[in-house]
């Protein structure tokens, strides 16, 4: 735990400068740290100054440790103005400071607490003139940023409608990664956006123009709040010295989620005194895909050779049986600070369940039925979560919950069938099924370059008049039933006779021929085949330049095609989609805080949350861990950390499920291997559930 350090020792270690002592509060309250904290927390909170790494396991009271450390510094006479507390949300900083205020009767308003971005903003408002920015600079949101980049692209003489050039928000994402990972543009493209490598020179030119445009308009984007702060410190030593002297004690929350530039800012500010405490859990580092750098926490002791390392392993959340599985789940990772979570809660004599199911549909039935049983056992639906690796893993489950009337909410954002890329592709299918579907027609044609609302409206009027002449779907001609699709002449003949903008002609022709291909002779192909053709012929290229997470959306679309294989008829397929959407729409008003709903979430979105019961589904190799992660050890270890995060969300009950078969795009039923992560857990730690049909 280290020797106790007196007030004079703290100030001596802090700085050689003469310091004015803060006038103590009239009412002196001393916190009994030994009574308030467990032994491991106490050791970290009362550690002497210097670099400190706190490895805080899941559910171990990380926030409590940070809060009491701030209080301990204040009690030892450190001026609040000399403390910098960096968190990942401003809300987290406020909550910690409120807790400190409840512990000590001191005015800590001078303490700097907030996100890296908010602190960067504050510094740049005061000192940004050193970089040529006035204090009233505008901070652009992502929409503003996209608009400015689109303006720059146009001024660079690039016509995105003639070449498949990335849209503004995709470029914004690329530039953001370059800043936050501090990687050269070419390396970043090769790693994350290889399909844009042929455009490297043009993208580089746009990036340079964008930087100049921001300066000229006295504007910064969100990433500038970090990048310009670091740049200013590097270029202006006197400014850096002011803040190094001010921030004598730096505390960083969720350090495993910091990126390269954030770690550089902390290291620069702490370069004189090294009084930096970072708190985090390397086993929960799961955000490399958005720029977080695992090396920051792993190599902290290398960057600070005299660092003290504390491990907080007492878990207040889960029963011992779940923690035993969690410890086993992470054990195989080579690159980690090894720790062993131990429970403060008593055993429930209920082991986590390992459940093998026949296929995805049976998995969904099992989860839905068990949820209803738990509800009968008085477990609130809000306290039940189903976690998965990727959005599309929940497709069958959403359908099953909707059928059974079980309300659910998607913690990880929009529902699968309501996502833009899913609705885009199904608009083609809807149009084939009903050539009079104006909404589907408009959504479909607006995907093409040069076609906006006005043009789409004009095209629809032309199309509608041609349908009327042909009598297709006209209720007035019911004696001669309308064909399922457009009868000969085919789509290409009708559509190609229409006037479209010059920029749209090439893809308009492709659209017309694709519609003929997916409904030859007016008879629709099976829905799964239609979706695959639409994606390959038209939508894949569109998605690459329009979406920042193209690969994830492509996976969704592949899964949509797989899901559609169970329907031979296009109308049945669309009816099922409508059923899910309508049940969801009816449930939506009931998904307020006072109504119950099961939580469906990706594991990434569930980090930091906890539930009475957790189901982790689709635990098969290639699904969880994902197929993309199987190539490198680092990627596989991050997947294993993700599995560890999923397991440690559960307080009382945990169900690990895997289907033994799954539908595949073109291969029929495919046998699934159980996830390698399940095989790393000893059989005696789980209970094998044998599921039979009644």
- Count of beta carbons in the 10 Å neighbourhood of residue 467: 17
Catalytic position from the list 75, 221, 254, 637: 254
Residue 30: pLDDT above 90? no
**Residue 25 — very low, low, confident or very high, per pLDDT cuts 50/70/90?**
very low
Q: What is the structure's pLDDT at 291?
A: 87
Between CA 361 and CA 400 the distance in angstroms is 8
- Separation between Cα atoms, residue 286 and residue 59, nearest integer Å: 17
Q: How many angstroms separate the CA atoms of 192 and 550, rounded? A: 10
Active site residue 321: no
Radius of gyration, alpha carbons of the chain: 29
Answer yes or no: pTM beyond 0.85. no
Per-residue pLDDT tens over the stretch 524-561: 899 999 999 999 999 999 999 999 889 889 988 988 88
What pLDDT score does 29 carry? 57
| Whether 587 contacts 600, CB under 8 Å | no
Q: How confident is the model at residue 645 (pLDDT cuts 50, 70, 90)?
A: very high
Q: What confidence score (pLDDT) does residue 453 get?
A: 87
Q: Which residue has the higher pLDDT, 671 or 160?
A: 671
Greater confidence (170 vs 491) lies with: 170
Q: How does residue 502 score in pLDDT terms, banded at 50, 70 and 90?
A: confident
Q: Using 50, 70 and 90 to split pLDDT, how confident is the model at 610?
A: very high
| Percent of the chain residues past pLDDT 70, beyond the cut | 89
Which residues, 6 or more positions from 429, have their beta carbon under 8 angstroms from its beta carbon?
524, 527, 530, 531, 534, 570, 573, 574
Over residues 172-190, the mean pLDDT reads: 93
649 is catalytic: yes
The continuous run of DSSP H or E covering 228 comes out as helix 224-235
48 close to 215: Cβ distance less than 8 angstroms: no
The percent of the chain in helix, strand and coil, each rounded to the nearest 5, is 55, 15, 35
User: So what's the pLDDT on residue 475?
Assistant: 43
Query: What is the reported pLDDT for 484?
Result: 45
What was the pLDDT predicted at 278? 97
Is residue 486's pLDDT more than 60? no
User: Is 345 designated active site?
Assistant: no
Q: How far apart are CA 658 and CA 357, in angstroms?
A: 6
Quick one: average pLDDT of 451-470? Answer: 84
Collapse the DSSP code of 622 into the 3-class scheme (helix H, G, I; strand E, B; otherwise coil) and give the result. Answer: strand
| Band (41; pLDDT cuts 50, 70, 90) | very high
pLDDT, averaged across the chain: 87
What is the mean predicted confidence (pLDDT) over 66-91? 91
| Two tokens, residue 484 | 């399922």
All residues at 6 or more sequence positions from 393 whose CB lies less than 8 Å from its CB, including other chains: 617, 618, 623, 624
Reported as a pLDDT band with limits 50, 70 and 90, residue 27 is very low
Q: Is 685 helix (H, G, I), strand (E, B) or coil?
A: helix
Give dist(CA 72, CA 242) in Å, integer: 25
pLDDT score of 17:
63
Task: Write down the catalytic residue from 649, 651, 662, 676.
Answer: 649
pLDDT computed for residue 412 by the predictor = 60
pLDDT at 56 over 60: yes
The whole-number average pLDDT for the span 393-417 is: 85
Q: What is the pLDDT averaged over residues 49-59?
A: 95
Q: Single out the residue of 436, 432, 439, 430 nearest to residue 457, CA to CA.
A: 439
Structure tokens at 633: 């050890």
Mention every residue, 6+ apart, whose C-beta is less than 8 A from residue 689. Answer: 353, 354, 355
453: CB partners within 8 A, 6+ apart: 442, 446
Alpha carbon separation from 208 to 41, 124, 180, 639 (Å, rounded): 48, 21, 17, 36
pLDDT of residue 277: 97
For residues 42-60, give the mean pLDDT: 95
Residue of 11, 40, 46, 62 with catalytic role: 62
**Annotated catalytic residue 162:** no
pLDDT of residue 140: 87
User: Which of 409, 403, 353, 357 is CA-nearest to residue 386?
Assistant: 409
Q: For residue range 253-282, what is the model confidence (pLDDT) as tens digits?
A: 999 999 999 999 999 999 999 999 999 999
284 in catalytic set? yes
C-alpha pair distances (Å), 285 with each of 188, 295, 304, 661 = 20, 10, 20, 31
Mean pLDDT of 15-39: 68
Of the listed 79, 173, 253, 639, which one is catalytic? Answer: 253
Q: 668-671 and 661-664 as β-strands: parallel, antiparallel, unpaired?
A: antiparallel
Confidence of residue 7 (pLDDT cuts 50, 70, 90): very low
Residue of 284, 398, 576, 613 marked catalytic: 284
254 assigned to active site: yes
266, 252 in Cβ contact below 8 A?
Answer: yes
Tokens of 239: 């400014």
Res 381 pLDDT > 60: yes
């Amino acid at each position: 735990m280290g020797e106790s350090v007196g007030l004079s020792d703290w100030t001596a270690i802090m700085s050689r400068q003469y310091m004015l002592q803060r006038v103590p509060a009239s009412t002196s309250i001393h916190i009994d740290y030994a009574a308030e904290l467990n032994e491991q927390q106490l050791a970290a909170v009362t550690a002497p100054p210097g670099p400190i790494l706190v490895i805080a396991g899941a559910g171990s009271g990380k926030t409590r440790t940070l809060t009491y450390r701030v209080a301990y510094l204040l009690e030892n006479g450190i001026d609040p103005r000399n403390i910098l507390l960096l968190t990942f949300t401003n809300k987290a900083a406020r909550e910690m400071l409120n807790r400190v205020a409840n512990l000590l009767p001191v005015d800590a308003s001078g303490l700097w607490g907030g996100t890296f971005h908010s602190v960067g903003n504050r510094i740049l408002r005061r000192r940004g003139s050193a970089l040529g920015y006035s204090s009233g600079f505008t901070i652009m949101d992502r929409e503003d940023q996209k608009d400015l980049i689109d303006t720059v692209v146009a001024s660079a003489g690039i016509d995105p409608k003639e070449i498949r050039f990335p849209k503004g928000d995709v470029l914004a994402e690329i530039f953001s990664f370059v800043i936050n990972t501090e990687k050269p543009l070419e390396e970043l493209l090769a790693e994350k956006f290889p399909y844009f490598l042929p455009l490297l020179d043009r993208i580089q030119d746009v990036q340079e123009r964008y930087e100049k445009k921001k300066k000229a308009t006295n504007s910064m984007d969100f990433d500038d709040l970090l990048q310009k702060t670091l740049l200013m410190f590097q270029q202006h030593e006197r400014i850096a010295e002011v803040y190094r002297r001010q921030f004598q004690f730096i505390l960083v929350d969720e350090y495993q989620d910091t990126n390269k530039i954030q770690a550089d800012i902390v290291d620069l500010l702490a370069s004189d005194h090294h009084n930096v405490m970072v708190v985090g859990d390397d086993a929960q580092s799961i955000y490399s895909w958005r720029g977080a750098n695992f090396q920051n926490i792993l190599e902290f002791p290398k960057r600070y050779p005299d660092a003290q390392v504390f491990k907080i392993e007492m878990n207040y959340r889960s029963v011992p049986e779940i923690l035993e599985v969690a410890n086993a789940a992470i054990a195989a990772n080579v690159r980690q600070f090894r720790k062993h979570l131990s429970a403060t809660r008593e055993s429930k004599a209920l082991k986590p369940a390992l459940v093998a199911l026949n296929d995805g549909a049976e998995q969904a039935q099992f989860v839905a039925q068990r949820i209803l049983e738990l509800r009968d056992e008085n477990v609130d639906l809000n306290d039940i979560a189903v976690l998965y690796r990727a959005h599309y893993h929940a497709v069958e489950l959403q359908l099953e919950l909707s059928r059974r009337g079980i309300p659910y909410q998607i913690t990880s954002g929009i529902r699968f069938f309501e996502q833009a890329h899913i609705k885009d592709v199904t608009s083609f299918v809807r149009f084939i099924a009903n050539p009079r579907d104006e909404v589907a027609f408009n959504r479909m044609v607006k995907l093409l370059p040069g076609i906006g609302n006005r043009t789409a409206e004009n095209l629809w009027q032309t199309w509608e008049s041609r349908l009327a002449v042909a009598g297709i779907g006209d209720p007035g001609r019911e004696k001669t039933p309308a064909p399922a699709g457009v009868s000969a002449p085919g789509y290409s003949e009708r559509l190609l006779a229409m006037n479209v903008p010059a920029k749209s002609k090439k893809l308009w022709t492709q659209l017309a021929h694709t519609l003929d291909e997916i409904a030859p002779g007016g008879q629709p192909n099976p829905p799964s085949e239609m979706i695959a053709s639409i994606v390959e012929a038209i939508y894949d290229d569109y998605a690459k330049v329009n979406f920042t997470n193209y690969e994830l959306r492509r996976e969704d679309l592949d899964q949509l095609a797989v899901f559609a294989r169970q329907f031979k008829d296009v109308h049945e397929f669309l009816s099922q989609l409508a059923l899910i959407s309508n049940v969801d729409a009816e449930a939506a008003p009931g998904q307020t805080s006072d109504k119950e709903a099961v939580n469906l979430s990706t594991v990434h979105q569930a980090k930091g949350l906890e539930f009475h019961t957790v189901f982790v589904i689709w635990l098969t190799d290639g699904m969880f861990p994902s197929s993309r992660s199987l190539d490198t050890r680092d990627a596989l270890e991050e997947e294993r950390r993700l599995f560890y995060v999923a397991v440690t969300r559960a307080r009382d009950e945990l169900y690990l499920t895997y289907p033994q078969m799954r539908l595949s795009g073109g291969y029929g039923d495919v046998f699934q291997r159980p996830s390698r992560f399940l095989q790393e857990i000893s059989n005696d730690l789980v209970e094998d559930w044998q599921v039979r049909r009644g």
